[in-house]
Amino acid sequence: MYKTACIFLALLSGCATFENRTEVHNDVSARMLVLTKIASEKVSQTVREIGDTIAYPRSTTPEGKWKTAPIRDWTSGFFPGILWYMNELTGDSSFRRSAERWTDGLAPLQFYTGSHDIGFMVNCSFGNGYRLTKNEEYRKTILQTAQTLLTRYNPNVGCIKSWDNRKWPYPVIIDNMMNLELLFWASQNGGTQQMHDAAVSHAEKTMQNHFRDDGSTYHVVGYDAENGNVLCKGTHQGYADASCWSRGQAWAIYGFAMSYRFTHDARFLRTAERAADYFIAHLPADNVPYWDFQAPKIPNEPRDASAGAIATSALLELGGFVNDPIKREKYYASAVSMLESLSRQPYFSDQIASSGILSHAVGNRPAGSEINGSLIYGDYYFIEALLRYKQISSDYAVQNLKSWRATTK
């Protein structure tokens, strides 16, 4: 196990002396400072490069420069989200000013009915913005977006529809779990019971129909829009219908842990654990997943650092929900091992020439697009994981300090 994981476990188990705990905590904190500094320089550089037009970065070119996408692309909320997170991580107010500009540019999405991903797009931008500023206009935008997202909910199916105009009948993809966060949040912050009920129903159907017995997930389930029967199960971005696409599995861990956060429904917690157990059991030695857990030429297949970053952040949340200390340690230690690997080369790109933070991410392997460069959502969840790690490690340091004082009185 890597050093940071050992350090973290030492903090968790309380077996280190107080001096050691302080020392190792300082060690982790020092490393966080370096990662934060490099990430901060890269994000500032991106702002300088694309700030005149408020473009939305999506993936990097082979030279390491961001290619941008229109605001209706599913990835548009991540760069504003990164700016809010960098403001939170560094306290630098220039990030907040940039975050406001990039967030405001997405306001038209609140009326856009053409994508299930408005949940992602608006939650990462306006959602983080509201959390940090309590700007009332942001809350109203989120509520309107939730209302718009409900137009894609079909009560016969009990799910929000993912894609329009593709080969699948009423397709629902595992990624769509992530859009529920906006609905759950809106329902508790001035929205409606219908928003909550639709999100619960979507999570229940996904729990029933996307999971295999071993805890792995299908990418796509197609439904009959009239009677809700399942018509087909398969993949779009994975290797095969019967394989497990690693980013889809990461969305499943994150989506069900988040659903538990809002509902305290033990079924959702158990489902997050099943998804996590499968993910962890299928990680290679350096803890960064291959793009599909059954990709045919492993070990000569690309990794997907974005799947690793999403799962890391999700496991840091999940670990906080489980009562069993052995399970909690497993989730935290797996998260820290992944964070440790992602924080070093070849995944953490400390070359300032490259605008992306994490490289070796895979967008869509079957389509041959966005292989091995940086993806804006990989960077977003990596920074989120750093924030979650910082919070958890400082909470444990405080707890350990208190318990050490109590035992030495």
The token duo for 334 is 């797996």
d(CA 144, CA 163): 21
Q: How many angstroms separate the first and last alpha carbons of the chain? A: 34
Token pair 């489980």: residue = 322
Q: What are the C-alpha distances in Å from 316 to residues 276, 326, 328, 339, 386?
A: 11, 14, 9, 10, 10
The token duo for 230 is 């399942």
Contact 318, 253 (CB under 8 A): yes
d(CA 163, CA 148): 15
- Give the shortest CB-117-to-ligand GLY separation in angstroms: 7
Contact 148, 119 (CB under 8 A): no
d(CA 142, CA 159): 20
What binding mask, one character per residue, do residues 56-75 give for ligand GLY by CB under 6 A, x or -? ------------------x-
- Give the shortest CB-247-to-ligand GLY separation in angstroms: 5
What binding mask, one character per residue, do residues 172-201 give for ligand GLY by CB under 6 A, x or -? ---x--------------------------
Closer residue to ligand GLY, CB minimum distance, 191 or 373: 373
Task: State the number of binding residues for ligand GLY (CB under 6 A).
Answer: 4
- State the DSSP H helix or E strand holding residue 153, giving kind and residue range, or none if neither: strand 153-154
- Active-site residue, from 52, 117, 324, 395: 117
d(CA 396, CA 382): 21
Going along 199-271, which residue ranges are E strands?
220-223, 230-234
Nearest to 289 by CA among 309, 308, 272: 308
- Give the shortest CB-173-to-ligand GLY separation in angstroms: 7
Examine residue 108 and say whether the peptide bond preceding it is cis (omega within 30 degrees of 0).
Answer: no
The token duo for 362 is 């895979």
175 is catalytic: yes
Closer residue to ligand GLY, CB minimum distance, 247 or 261: 247
Helices assigned H by DSSP within 282-324: 305-319
241 is catalytic: no
- Give the shortest CB-352-to-ligand GLY separation in angstroms: 27
Closer residue to ligand GLY, CB minimum distance, 74 or 389: 74
By CB under 6 A, the residues from 74 to 133 that bind ligand GLY are: 74
Closer residue to ligand GLY, CB minimum distance, 252 or 383: 252
Closer residue to ligand GLY, CB minimum distance, 175 or 379: 175
Closer residue to ligand GLY, CB minimum distance, 243 or 393: 243
By CB under 6 A, the residues from 230 to 249 that bind ligand GLY are: 237, 247
* 215: amino acid identity, one letter: G
* 385: amino acid identity, one letter: A
Closer residue to ligand GLY, CB minimum distance, 74 or 138: 74
Going along 209-326, which residue ranges are E strands?
220-223, 230-234
The closest residue (CB) to ligand GLY is 175
Nearest to 208 by CA among 196, 195, 199, 221: 221
- Give the shortest CB-60-to-ligand GLY separation in angstroms: 16
Closer residue to ligand GLY, CB minimum distance, 74 or 85: 74
- Active-site residue, from 175, 292, 304, 379: 175
Burial letters 40-55, b for 16+ CB under 10 A, else e? bebbbebbeebeeebb
- Provide the binding-site residues for ligand GLY, judged by CB under 6 A: 74, 175, 237, 247
**Residues annotated catalytic, as ranges:** 117, 175
